[in-house]
């Protein structure tokens, strides 16, 4: 069966520090991968999605970036965090791009920028 893992689960980072969140998917190949962010009491905002290695699409301009160095690995990064980057970050995958595909989410990572 397919599983998705992301880490770390929680982190507290000072303003201006770098960020790296990692996500891996097991049990499937060539998945679509996604990074979402959820602010407290808000809906999910799609940040990045990828349909293949090295192929990243950014949905929202910001100081975050994403990379997909391997088929089932997706990394969210920042060189300098802002207070507004605080939130709940979710990695997800789907088998394809058609909206009929189910999106499977990881456990989430809580980021607090102080």
Partner 1 sequence: LAKTTQPISMDSYEGQEVNITCSHNNIATNDYITWYQQFPSQGPRFIIQGYKTKVTNEVASLFIPADRKSSTLSLPRVSLSDTAVYYCLYGGATNKLIFGTGTLLAVQP
Residues binding partner 1 (CB under 8 A): 32, 34, 36, 41-44, 46, 49, 57, 59, 88, 90, 92, 94, 96-108, 110
**Closest separation in Å from C-beta 103 to partner 1:** 6
| Helix (H) or strand (E) run with residue 93 in it | strand 87-94
**Closest separation in Å from C-beta 3 to partner 1:** 13
**Closest separation in Å from C-beta 80 to partner 1:** 26
Please say which residue, 29 or 102, places its beta carbon nearer to partner 1.
Answer: 102
Please say which residue, 15 or 39, places its beta carbon nearer to partner 1.
Answer: 39
- The answer to whether residues 4 and 103 touch, using CB atoms and an 8 Å cutoff, is no
In whole angstroms, how far apart are CA 78 and each of 15, 50, 96, 104? 11, 18, 27, 24
DSSP bridge pairs for 88 = 38, 110
Say whether 42 sits in a helix, a strand or coil: coil
């Amino acid at each position: 069966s397919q599983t998705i893992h992301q880490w770390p689960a929680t982190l507290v980072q000072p303003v201006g520090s770098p960020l790296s969140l990692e996500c891996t998917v097991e049990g499937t190949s060539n998945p679509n991968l996604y990074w979402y962010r959820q602010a407290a009491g808000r809906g999910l905002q799609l940040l990045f999605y990828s349909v293949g290695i090295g192929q990243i699409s950014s949905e929202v301009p910001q100081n975050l970036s994403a990379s997909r160095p391997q088929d089932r690995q997706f990394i969210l990064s920042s060189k300098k965090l802002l207070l507004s980057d605080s939130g709940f970050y979710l990695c997800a995958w789907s088998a394809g791009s058609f909206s009929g595909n189910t999106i499977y989410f990881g456990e989430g990572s809580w980021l607090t920028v102080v």
